[in-house]
Each structure stands twice: as C-alpha cells, then as structure tokens.
Structure 1
Amino acid sequence: MYLGGVWHALNWEPTPDATPEDALDVSILQQRVLAPVLGIDDPRTSDRIDFIGGIRGTAELEKLVDSGSHAVAFSMYPTTVSQLMDIADAGQIMPPKSTWFEPKLRSGLFIHTLDS
C-alpha cells in the first residue's frame, strides 16, 4: 500500500476455509480494505477506484498518489497460473482485474487437461 509517500506491507493469510477465489490477493484486499474501510463495495462500478496495468509499474502508482489525484495505491503480486486453474476447477469466476496478464497474447486457446 502506498500512502503518504511511503510503501507499507499488508499481509493477510486467507482463512483455512477460503475458496480458491477468496484466497486471491485481490479478493483479500476487497474483503479487508476496499469494502469495509474505503466503502468500495463493487470495484466494477465504483468511480472511487481506478486500475493501473502492471506494466506501468509502481512508479505510476506513486506518481498518481503524490500528485494528489489519488489518495492511496495498492500493488499486488500477480495471479499465478496455479491459482487460475484452481478457480477454474472449482467452477468459480475470477474477480475484477485479477486476470490482467502480460504480455498480452494476440490470440490463443488454453486447454486444461484433467489428471486421471
């Protein structure tokens, strides 16, 4: 979390009974900070939140907060392929902005085979 010109580490472990979706960093941030502290109940529709692609780096986040146009920024580890597969196998849907992958493929097809 970048706030007041300083980076702060936030660390919460998912609960033992967390679903694969609930164990994602973006879900934990939503459940622990965005909704209860900042009042952002739906990041898809809220005009109080913006998303910055990972390729722009933390310097872009710092610039936005330091300029005063944004109050706080959060930088998270990317979703892993293993997390993506766990969510798909559980029949769940990825949360907003958790599927930002780089480099972008021009086109592609992904096939997940089940182990017998």
Structure 2
Amino acid sequence: MFGRGPLDLKKVPRLGVIPRYAKDESEMKWFEVSGWNSLHTINAWEEDGGDTIVMVATNILSVEHLLERMDLIHASVEMVRIDIKTRMVSRHPLSTRNLDLSVINPAFVGVKNRIQIS
C-alpha cells in the first residue's frame, strides 16, 4: 500500500477482537471502522460484563504519508467503543493534537481509567 501507488479509499480498516480465553485466532471477530488507522494503542478495557470493548488509541489521519513523509503525519487520540453484541463501533476524539506513542502507567493497563490529555 505504501509507496506502491495511490491509497485505495474503497477499503475499510477493521479491528480484530479475540476473546480473552479463546483457544486460537479462529474465534476473532472483525469490526469495520471507517477512517481508522491506528498505529499505537494506549489502553483498552471491557465494560458491560465484557459486551463492550473500550480502546484509547492514536488515529493516523494522513496514513498515506506514513513511510514517506513523517513530517506530514498527524496522530489524534480517540476513544473507540465496540459493542460486541450489536457489532456497532463508535469513535470519539479525545485530542486533536499530534500525540503519537502516548503511554499510561503500566499498573493501569487493561483497567478502566479516566482519560486526561495534558
């Protein structure tokens, strides 16, 4: 895709969710997320007894420049909610500033937490 011609706008990015106790990758469920180009996940957790996955991650807004023009890349931070039962995915921007490779305290990885962008 990169450096091999134009970006194919007909393709829709997908997120894969594999159950915590899956025996293998065949149990993965795929969810289409238009406009999503994640390079780095900051945190994720389950809600609603595991029926909802919440992920905080960067979204590369100009992915077509990823390998060729790093100075043109803009990574916003978004919260993505995946409803496993309804298969609905929603996205909410948390910051429009260029904030790639953000991290949290490792003690809170996988735990619901308050998001604060400073």
Please state which band the TM-score falls in when normalised by the shorter chain. Answer: under 0.3
Higher relative helix content: 1
Larger strand fraction of residues: 2
Give the TM-score of the pair, scaled to structure 1.
0.23
